Chains A and B, each alone.
Chain A
Amino acid sequence: MGAMGRTMIRYLVIIIIVVGGSVTANARELVVGLSSAVTSLSSALKMAKPYDTLCVNAGTYHPDSTLIITKPLYIFGNGNAQIEAAQNQGIFEIRSDSVTIAGFTLQNVPKNYLKDLAAIWVDYSQHFYIGNNTINNCFFGIFITKSKNGIVENNTVKGQAIHEHSSANAIHLWYCQKMVVKNNWVRHHRDGIYLEFVDSSNIENNISEQNLRYGLHFMFSNYDAYQQNTFSNNGAGVAVMFSKFIQMHRNNFNANWGDAAYGLLLKEIYDGEITGNTFQKNTVGIFAEGANRIHLRQNDFIANGWALKIRGSAMNNEFCYNNFIGNSFDLATDARTDYNSYHHNYWEEYSGYDLNKDGLGDVPHRPVKLFAYLVSKLDESILLMRSSFIELLNFAEKVAPSVTPTSLMDKTPLMKMYRPA
């Protein structure tokens, strides 16, 4: 069992304790409602003792300031409980361990250039759970700083970002550890999910789309896993920078189009695994700069402008069992000598044969076309795409490479598309 499994069990235990604690004699349940004894959230927070449950009935609440939670509490919305942000304030601020906030609709946190106002801000906390909330039109959605062992699950965060400089991120994690961000749907913010200095965390099954900048943006975050997420139609796709030991499995990177858009941007990334992902219709599938010792396996690159753009600074990476289908360019590089290894990939453009029927082409495949090299040198030559002259040049270069790196080839190209057994 991995570290991830252990943390999961730990969370489960915590949740059982929190939920179980609420029904034991020493914890009370307070009902907050527009027609109940307690009508305001802030007075309920004052009355509550640690480990109490606050049950907030349906209705729209207008707290006059940020709701600061300083003791372990289980707070959940019962029915359609809406909370509108006060003027120039966030909504929840969690400053205690073991807090649960679930089932709310949080709305209209204003933008602020001095303070990071968020619908939910978690600071220096552990063992918190934020689940099933709907967050509309807020500056930051969920903002978590210096915290550990928290779960952010099943939230829908929808912003109305128009300009990058006046918008913020849907889920923002800063200096966190062992976090789980799961099954969230985030859109129309600046970055969908933003992580900085976040270690040993699991980002799973989220949908991040139509964000102005990155669907997922993380820096200085090590030992994290990203699984089964979908990133589509984001301004610049997904950026992964300055991180080590990253696992990216079975994610979808779709339709990230634009002059600076990448399905996945790898910058200064070491020792990662990128497996089973699908890159479809991006301007650039993967752009790698200073990415080292990464294993890219079993990914599908379909109908991208450039499936891979590899700078000379990316070394010792392994590309195998990937499918390259219908891309304008499979691989572009500016390097004269390439230090990555390519083997057992399926290249749709491969034109070799397989005499001994072992499923591997007998002639090596050179994925870098002369034209791809030309375009990377000289943007304007894209105008000559599909021209007969260019096809001639490509053919000549394929037969006798002079400009493209001679060492860069797949000596064992697959004859048929790779499908995991």
Chain B
Amino acid sequence: MLKVFKYSFLDLMRNRWTIAYALFFALCSAGLLYLSGDGNKVIVSAMNIVLLLVPLVSVIYGQMYLYQVREYVELLLAQPISRKAIFMGYYLGISTALSLSLLVGFMLPALLLQPSYLLNTNWLLLIVIAVVLTFIFTGLACWLVLKYDNRLKGFGAGLFIWLLLAVLYDGAILVILLLLEDYPLEKLALVLSMLNPIDMGRMLLIFQLDYSALMGYTGAVFSHFFGTRLGGFILTFGFGVWLSFPIVLLLSKARKKDF
């Protein structure tokens, strides 16, 4: 597994698109840090970019890479290496490479422009969330590549999953909340948003950024939840489930698939 990981990781780190990805985030965060004085605003703007782009890029990039090395993977499968080792190696290689470019993209401008950000918990939290999302969505990408031999279908499914989780899901929550308006909804709303990793990341950050609007009654209830140990535990658990879910899918698919 380590050999495959090392190979794919180094291959990707040399790829100009990985460098472009890091450069993009570096430019974004440098621009935000440079233009905006207020700390919270920088983080919120960066958060919007991260929550939209990181899942999209992870899915599409992961799929593109895996479809590209498909023949090589088939060659590897003929060797005495377990399927698990091959696919986990690729999965870890891609996600580590993307995470590394994210880290560089966010840390380097902070280091140069405002070193105080390196210790800002919210900034670090944002980076952690970005990394977790990278792993989740790269995992989904690997699974989709195995599931669909047809590239078009694969990309379509990837885009759909991204659109669903990043945009449509919140709309669905809103509709459900509006339909059930007459009932107490705090717990339901929390549970529903916990089912989506992007929402989880967004809420985790928003509730750290002490928004005055969240100090209203319902907001205070939610804030309280995210502040307690139980809330922290549930969030960690939720992210844990979301991290392992694509891996489980990927491995079961890899075991059964007839190449």
Interface residues of A (CB under 8 A from B): 257-261, 281-284, 303-306, 326-329, 374-375, 377-393
Q: Which single residue of chain B is at the shortest CB-CB distance from A385? A: B206
| Chain A contacts for B51, CB-based, 8 A | 388
Min distance, Cβ B163 to any Cβ of chain A, angstroms: 10
- Nearest-CB distance from A411 to chain B (Å)? 27
Q: In whole angstroms, how far apart are the Cα atoms of A94 and B169 in the complex?
A: 68
User: Please, which residue of chain A has its CB at the minimum distance from the CB of B211?
Assistant: A328
Give the distance to chain B from A308, nearest Cβ to Cβ, in Å: 13
- Check: B124 CB closer than 8 A to any chain A CB: no
Question: Residues of B contacting A283 with CB < 8 Å?
Answer: 212-213, 215-216
Given A326-B41, A380-B186, A383-B203, A257 and B215 contact (CB-CB distance below 8 Å):
yes
Q: If the complex has contacts A380-B185, A382-B219, are A388 and B212 also in contact, measured as CB distance less than 8 A?
A: no
Q: How many B residues touch the partner, as a band?
A: 35 or more
A-side contacts of B186, CB under 8 Å: 380
Question: What would be 6 A-B contacts, judged by CB atoms less than 8 Å apart?
Answer: A283-B212, A380-B185, A384-B174, A385-B211, A389-B168, A390-B174
Residues of B within 8 A of A387 (CB): 170, 199, 202
Chain B residues near A386 (CB-CB < 8 A): 44, 47-48, 202, 206
Minimum CB–CB distance from A259 to chain B (whole Å) comes to 4
B206: chain A residues at CB < 8 Å are: 385-386
How many angstroms between the C-alpha atoms of A234 and B47 in the bound complex? 32
Chain A CB within 8 A of B166 CB: yes
Whose C-beta in chain B lies nearest to the C-beta of A285?
B212
With both beta carbons as reference points, the residue of chain A lying nearest to B192 in the complex is identified as A383
A257-B212, A326-B41, A387-B202 given as contacts; is B217 within 8 A of A379 (CB)? yes
Which of chain B's residues have a CB closer than 8 A to the CB of A327? 212
Question: Known: A388-B167, A389-B167. Contact between A382 and B218, CB under 8 A?
Answer: yes
Question: B218 contacts A380, CB within 8 Å?
Answer: yes
When the two chains form their complex, are residues B214 and A381 in contact, meaning their CB atoms are under 8 A apart?
no
Cα–Cα distance between A374 and B168 once the two chains are bound (Å): 17
Whether A390 pairs with B220 at a CB distance below 8 angstroms is no
A386-B44, A389-B170, A390-B170 given; A305·B218 CB < 8 A: no
Q: Which of B171, B219, B220 has the most CB of A within 10 A?
A: B219
* Given A374-B174, A383-B189, 12 more pairs with CB closer than 8 A: A258-B215, A281-B212, A305-B212, A305-B214, A326-B41, A328-B212, A380-B188, A382-B219, A383-B173, A383-B190, A386-B44, A388-B166
**Chain A neighbourhood of B177, CB < 8 A:** 378, 380-381
B178: Cβ under 8 A from any A Cβ: yes
Alpha-carbon distance A281/B170, docked complex (angstroms):
28
What CA separation (Å) do A380 and B221 show in the bound complex? 10
User: Does B19 interact with chain A (Cβ within 8 Å)?
Assistant: no
Ranked 4 nearest A-B pairs via Cβ: A305-B213, A328-B213, A305-B212, A389-B170
* Shortest Cβ distance from residue A89 to the other chain B in the assembled complex, whole angstroms: 41
Q: Name B213's contact: one of A329, A377, A389, A392 (CB within 8 Å).
A: A329
